[in-house]
Structure 1
C-alpha cells in the first residue's frame, strides 16, 4: 500500500508515534508530508523511518491559527497531494493537519480513504481561553463533515470527541515497545519520583513544583524532571533536579533508578512517556485527565489536585511493598493493552478495510 502521512507537528510524541508505526509496518510504501516550522524536529529524522520513506516539506504549515497562512497551507497541501499518484491511504496527524487535510481529501475525492488521529485533540487544551476552545470544537465539527474516519489514541479521547457530537470515531490505544532495561531494586529508604516531557503548559510543571515543595524538608524523597522547555523557570523547589534534554541512554538510566512516575498533565491523547515508565515497572501517580485515565488500573492512582497527590505520595512512602507490586502490574498492563505490535496491526486492518 502507498500510505501518505500528513503532519504539521513533526516533533515530540507525534514524531515518535509516526516513526514507531512506520517501522513496525515497514513493508508498506510511505510518503511523509511534514511541517518544517517546529524547532524540536530531530535533525536526523530521516534515519528514524524505514528506508522506503519519502519526505515532502509542507512549508506553509504552522501551529497557530491564521486565516491567510492556513489558506496558503491548504492550497500547498492540495497541490502536493494532487501530484501523488495511486494513494491508498491518507493518514492525518494532529489538529492542523486534521482540519486542512480533511478538506483537501474531500476536494480530491479521497475522503473514504482518509484517517485522522488527533494525538490529544485541540479542544482539550487548557492553555487557551474558553472562547478559543469553542472555536476548536467548531473547527473539529466542521472538518468532520468532510468525511474520513477519526481514530483516537485512547478510549477517553474517543469519548471526549463523541461528547461534542462528532461521529465516525473509533480508537486504537497508543502502543510502545517495552524498554529493554530493568528497574533497579531500591534497598534504601530514599524515594525518587520522576517525570519526563517538555516543560510546557500541557505538562503543567507548576503543579509538579508545588507537589515537590510539600516534601522539601524530607531528605528521603527527591523529584526529577527529564526534559526542557519554555516553563523550566517554574521548577524552583530545591528538591527538584531538572536534567534538560538528555540522550536516550541517560534518560533510561534515570528511569531505572526511579521509584514512581508522576504526571501532572492537564490533557493528553495517551502519553508515551508514561507507557515507557510503566514498561520497566514503575507505579504511576497520574493527574486525572483524558489519556492518563486509560493507564491506571491496579498499578497506581489518579488524583484531582495537589492535596490528593501529596496524600497519595505520603501513603506510598509508608509502603515499599505497594510500590513493588504496583510497578509489576504496570509492566503487565503495557504488555497486554499497549503493545506496539497490536497497535500497528490495528492500524493496518483499518488501512486495508478503507482501501478495499
Structure 2
C-alpha cells in the first residue's frame, strides 16, 4: 500500500519524532511518502528513510490552497492509497484530500490542545474537529486519557476512534541508573519552551528544592528550544543566578543525557502522550510529572514514579528528595519504568497496531466501493 504521511511540522518536537519512529517500524508492506515543511532536522531524516522523490514540501503550520493543489497532484502521480495526517493543521489537508479525491483518511490527534483557547476559539476548534471526523475513516488517540477527552467533547463516534499509545525504541544493554554511584543527582527535562510545557514550573521546583534542602547536590538539564527560552534565561539570571540549571539546546539524539541522568521531570499543563517521558522510562529513569492526561497514562504513582498537581511544586520537591534518600524505592521505580515501557510502549507495537488500522480501512473501503 502507498501511504502519504502529512505533518505541518518537521522541526524539533514529539509529533515529528512520532512520525519518524512510525516510519522506521511500519514494515516493508507499506511504501511511504511524506508531506511536511522543509525544516531541520526531520525533513532530512524523512528523506533518508523514503528518498527525496517521495517527499513534498508544505508550509509550517499554515494552510495554503497552492499546497493543497500540489498535494492532490502528488497523490495522483504517486498513486497514494491512504492519507495519514498527524496533528490539527495536517488534518485539514488530509480531510480535504479525502473529500476531493475519495481517498481513505486516517488522522492522529497528538493532543486536544484547548488549554490556551478562549471560549469562542474552543467552540470553533471543537466544531472543526467534529465536522471533519465525519470525513475521516479512522481517528487515533495516542493515549487512553486523550481518548476520554475526545469522547467527552463528542468529537467522533467511538466506533471510529482507536487508541494506539505512542511508542519508543527500546535501547539495548541499558545499565539501570544507580544514584548512589554519583555525587550529583541529575534531573533531566526535554522540553519545548512554551505555555504547554510550563518549564517555569521546573525552575520554581528547583528554587524551592534548594530553599528546603540547601546542601543537596542536584542539577537540572533542559534539552530543547522554543519561543520562551530567552525569558527563562532572563528569569534565572536575574532572580536565581546560582541555581544549577543548564540549557543544553536542541538535541537530535538525547541518549547521552538519558544515560547519565537519575530522574526525569515533566511540568506540562497537558499532553497527548509524551515521547520524552517514555524515552526516559526506557532508560530506566523514574519520572516525576504533573498529574495531567498523557503523563498519568504512563506514570503510575508510587510504581514507576510520582505525580503531582500543577499548582503544588512543593509536592514535587518532596518527591525528588524521596527518590534521592530512599535507595530501595529508587531502584524499584527504575526497574518498573524500564519494564513497563518495554512491555507496553515500544515503537514496534505502535507501528504494528497502526498497520492493522491501515489494512482495516483499506479493506472496508474496497468492500464499500465494490
TM-score, structure 1 as length reference: 0.88
* Aligned-partner Cα distance in 2 for 1:258–1:31: 36
* Aligned-partner Cα distance in 1 for 2:53–2:140: 23
* Conserved? CA contact 2:36–2:43, under 8 Å: no
Q: Which has the higher contact order (CA 8 A, sep 6+)?
A: 2
- What runs of 5+ residues in structure 1 fail to find an aligned partner? none
Task: Pick which of 167-176 and 16-25 moved more.
Answer: 16-25
* Aligned-partner Cα distance in 1 for 2:295–2:46: 30
Assess, with a 3 A threshold, how the Cα gap between structure 1 residues 153 and 189 changes in structure 2: closer, same or farther: same
* Aligned-partner Cα distance in 1 for 2:208–2:219: 11
Post-superposition CA distance 1:31-63 (Å, at most 9, x none): 112234xx54446224542459711112xx442
Instruction: Map 1:263-282; keep pairs closer than 5 Å.
Output: 263-282=266-285
Post-superposition CA distance 1:183-231 (Å, at most 9, x none): 4433246422111132222211111111111123344222111222222
Residue of structure 1 equivalent to 2:32: 30
* Conserved? CA contact 1:213–1:239, under 8 Å: no
Assess, with a 3 A threshold, how the Cα gap between structure 1 residues 118 and 247 changes in structure 2: closer, same or farther: closer
Number of equivalenced pairs: 341
Cα RMSD for the two superposed structures: 2.3
- Equivalent in 100, 113, 132 of residue 107 of structure 1: 100
Q: Secondary structure at the match of 2:54?
A: strand
* Conserved? CA contact 1:102–1:148, under 8 Å: no
* Conserved? CA contact 2:106–2:136, under 8 Å: no
Q: Secondary structure at the match of 2:293?
A: coil
Residue of structure 2 equivalent to 1:10: 10
Residue of structure 2 equivalent to 1:222: 219
Q: Secondary structure at the match of 1:4?
A: strand
Offset at 1:266?
Answer: 1.5
Offset at 1:338?
Answer: 0.2
* Conserved? CA contact 1:77–1:101, under 8 Å: no
* Conserved? CA contact 1:175–1:343, under 8 Å: yes
* Conserved? CA contact 2:171–2:283, under 8 Å: yes
* Aligned-partner Cα distance in 2 for 1:321–1:53: 54
TM-score, structure 2 as length reference: 0.85
Offset at 1:73?
Answer: 4.4
Residue of structure 1 equivalent to 2:260: 257
Residue of structure 1 equivalent to 2:81: 88
- What runs of 5+ residues in structure 2 fail to find an aligned partner? 364-370
Residue of structure 1 equivalent to 2:126: 137
* Aligned-partner Cα distance in 1 for 2:204–2:186: 16
* Aligned-partner Cα distance in 1 for 2:255–2:360: 38
Instruction: Map 1:150-189; keep pairs closer than 5 Å.
Output: 150-166=139-155, 167=157, 168-180=160-172, 181-186=174-179, 187-188=181-182
* Aligned-partner Cα distance in 2 for 1:6–1:131: 28
